[in-house]
Amino acid sequence: MLNTVLIMLLVPTAGLGARYNSHLVKGWSNSDCVRPWQQAQMSKPTLRIPSRAIECHPDDHNCPAGRNPVCQYSLRSQKYVCCEDKKDADIPTCPKYYETLLLPCGNSVDSQCPRGYRCLGSLGDDSIKLCCKPNRTLEYREPEHTFRENRIVPRLLPIAPAYELIATFSDEQISMGQLFDASIIEKLADPPVMSAGVELQDEKLYTIILADATSKAVTWLVANIAAFDGQLEIHRRTKSAVSYQPPDETDKPVGMHTMILALFEQHDTWSQKDLARIAMDDFNFGEWLEEYAHVLPGQPLAATFYGYSTKKDDRKRI
Ligand SMILES: *[C@@H]1O[C@H](CO)[C@@H](O)[C@H](O)[C@H]1NC(C)=O
C-alpha cells in the first residue's frame, strides 16, 4: 500500500512537463532518484570520502553496470546522479499487449497521456494508472508473464521459473493461479504429483518447496531428490525435511492463501544441519534463496502457484 501511495505521489513530478507542487517535491527530494523503485548507485567509501551517489552527465552513458542504470537529475543533490532499480523492484507495467510509458495518469494532479496512449490500470494492480499504447505484436514469455500478472514475481518470488511446474492434486491437474475454496479444500489433502515440463538430469539433485506466501510458512519441503529417467524420484517413502501440511478451513489468516510450489535444481547437496534450520514461519523466498545461494540457484527450474480459501468463494460473478 505504501508503495502505491509513493508511486502516485512521486512519479507525477517525474513526468514530462508535470506541474511541480511543493508537497510533491518535498516527498521526492528525500531520495536522489525519481521513481520509488529506484535507488542511487553509490560509490565505494574511501578513507577520505564516505560513500555517495555517483555523479553522471545526461549525455554520456557513464553510469556503472547495474539494474537499468540511468542518469537523472536529483533535486536533493542538485546534480545528475546514477540511479538503478532496487533489487526485486516491483515496477508497474501496462496490461498485456500494451506498451508501457511510465507516466501516471487518471489523477487530477497528473498530466494527460500523449497521443496514441490510453490511461489504464497497471498489470496486477488496477489502482496504479499508467499511460499505455496498444500493440498486438508484443511477445510475452511464459510462465514469467503469468507470474508477473498475478504479482507473484518479484514480490513473493524474486525470479520467474524457466518452466511451469505441472502439478496434479487428487487427479486434477491444476492451472497457474487456480483457487480451491473451502468447499473443495479436501482436494489438497495429499501432496501433488508433479512433472517439470523439462527432462531432469539423473546426476543432479532437486529440491521441492511449497510455501504459503500469505501466512509466510513452508508447508512442504523435500530436498536432495534424485532424478531417474528424467523424472523426480519422489514417492511415499521419500523423506521430507518438512512434511506436507494440507490446508485446513481453520487456518489463519481467514480467507485466501497464495501457495507457491517450486522445483529447484541444486548446485550442491543440502546438509541435514541447513535443512533443520529452515525458518518455518516468517519464510521469505528472497531471503531464503540468498542465504542458501551455495545450494540453490535464484531461479526455480519450474514452479506454479495456486490458492486455497478457508471460506466459500462467494465473489460476485460478472
Ligand atoms: C510493437 O512492438 C514491437 C516489438 O517490441 C515493435 O517492433 C513494433 O514497432 C511495435 N509497434 C508499434 C506500432 O509500436
**Residue 137 Cβ < 6 Å to ligand 1:** yes
- Same-domain pairing of 128 and 155: no
| 63 in any annotated domain | yes
Please say whether the dihedral angle defined by the alpha carbons of residues 167, 172, 173 and 176, taken in this order, is positive or negative.
Answer: negative
Residues 208, 221 contacting (CB under 8 angstroms): yes
**Residue 135 Cβ < 6 Å to ligand 1:** yes
Q: How far apart are CA 143 and CA 195, in angstroms?
A: 15
Residues 308, 260 contacting (CB under 8 angstroms): no
- Same-domain pairing of 189 and 118: no
Residues 79, 54 contacting (CB under 8 angstroms): no
Q: How far is CA 268 from CA 41, 213, 303, in A?
A: 33, 26, 20
**Residue 138 Cβ < 6 Å to ligand 1:** yes
**Residue 116 Cβ < 6 Å to ligand 1:** no
pLDDT at 158: 93
- Same-domain pairing of 256 and 183: yes
Q: How far apart are CA 263 and CA 125, in angstroms?
A: 27
Q: Structural domain of residue 6, as residue ranges? A: 2-85
Q: Which residues of the chain have pLDDT under 70?
A: 1-30, 108-111, 236-237, 318
C-alpha cell at 127: 489502482
Q: How far apart are CA 247 and CA 259, in angstroms?
A: 10
- Same-domain pairing of 106 and 178: no
- Same-domain pairing of 298 and 184: yes
The neighbour count for residue 311, using CB atoms within 10 Å, is 13
pLDDT at 23: 41
The verdict on pTM exceeding 0.85 is: no
- Same-domain pairing of 185 and 49: no
Give buried/exposed letters for 182-198 (b at 16+ CB in 10 A, else e). eebbebbeebbebbbbe
- Same-domain pairing of 110 and 32: no
| 133 CA from centroid of ligand 1 (Å) | 10
The model's pLDDT over 235-250, given as tens digits with 9 standing for 90+, comes to 766 788 999 999 999 9
The model's pLDDT over 194-231, given as tens digits with 9 standing for 90+, comes to 988 888 999 999 999 999 999 999 999 999 999 988 88
> Domain containing 159 — which CATH number?
3.90.280.10
- Same-domain pairing of 52 and 119: no
pLDDT at 10: 39
pLDDT at 108: 62
DSSP state of 21: -
Domain total for the chain? 3
- Same-domain pairing of 190 and 281: yes
| 92 in any annotated domain | no
pLDDT at 236: 66
**Closest residue by Cα to residue 210 from 236, 195, 192, 228:** 192
CA 4 to chain centre: 16
**Residue 183 Cβ < 6 Å to ligand 1:** no
- Same-domain pairing of 177 and 299: yes
Q: How many CA atoms lie within 13 A of 109 on its CB side?
A: 15
| 139 CA from centroid of ligand 1 (Å) | 10
Q: How far apart are CA 106 and CA 118, in angstroms?
A: 10
- Same-domain pairing of 154 and 303: yes
Q: What SS3 class is residue 287?
A: helix
The label of the residue with cell 518535498 reads 26
pLDDT at 137: 95
| 13 CA from centroid of ligand 1 (Å) | 28
| 55 in any annotated domain | yes
Longest dimension (CA), the chain: 66
Q: How far apart are CA 15 and CA 197, in angstroms?
A: 43
